[in-house]
Structure 1
């Protein structure tokens, strides 16, 4: 199990008690949003880094198109991955670890902090 699986499970367990029918959708959206924000952070970092090194590898329009395509792929992959069997396997593995060890507000602030860091990278370079 990787970090995204653990975060998915914690979000899923938190919202399962409150919104049982929407818990899987919320957790899948969270993991997808987190992965896309990390992708954006890396993309901005490398774009600014390559710009400072005077390397012309890809135009801005092509980079944004690639980002949108990869984002769609990430949402589809997570929808397929966490839709059924994988979630049941995660549930079985995490049954012995019933209590949530992460604060839900800190989990939701993680992608927001990553987007803030992305904004700092955009302004700094």
Structure 2
């Protein structure tokens, strides 16, 4: 199981008690948001690196379009991956393990911190 699977399961279990019908959507959104923010941070880093190396790979507009398409792909991939059978398999695997105890506010702040880092990195370059 990957880190994203563990985070999905934790969010699913946390919101299952509060909002049972929307718990899968919230957990899928969180995993997609986290992956997208990591992708943005990586893209900003490489854009700055290529700019300092004087390499012209693609324009900023094309890069943003590509980023948007990849984010849409990530969301639909996660939607298909964590819907139905995969979530049931995760439930069985996680029932055998001890319960994860993460603070939900810290987990929600992780993508926001990553977005802040991406913003600072983009202004520093």
Please indicate the TM-score interval, normalised by the length of the shorter structure. over 0.9
Deviations 1:7-60 (A, max 9, x none): 000000000001011000000000000000001110111001100110001111
Q: Which residue of structure 2 aligns with residue 7 of structure 1? A: 7
How far apart are the structure 1 equivalents of 2:119 and 2:57? 22
Separation in structure 2 between the aligned mates of residue 122 and residue 5 of structure 1, nearest angstrom: 30
Structure 1 stretch displaced more, 8-17 or 98-107: 98-107
Question: Is 2:106 aligned against 1:109?
Answer: no
Q: CA deviation at 1:97?
A: 3.1
Q: Which residue of 2 aligns with 1:25?
A: 25
Runs of 4+ with >3 A deviation: none
Residue in 2 that maps onto 1:75: 75
Please provide the CA RMSD for this pair: 0.9
Task: Summarize deviations over 1:73-120 as a string: whole Å, max 9, x none.
Answer: 001100100111110000000013353321111111100000000011
In 2, distance between residues paired with 1:80 and 1:60? Answer: 30
Structure 2: distance between partners of 1:71 and 1:101 = 28
TM-score (normalizing by structure 2): 0.97
Do structure 1's residue 94 and structure 2's residue 94 form an aligned pair?
Answer: yes
- Using the size of structure 1 for normalisation, the TM-score is 0.97
Q: How many residues matched?
A: 125
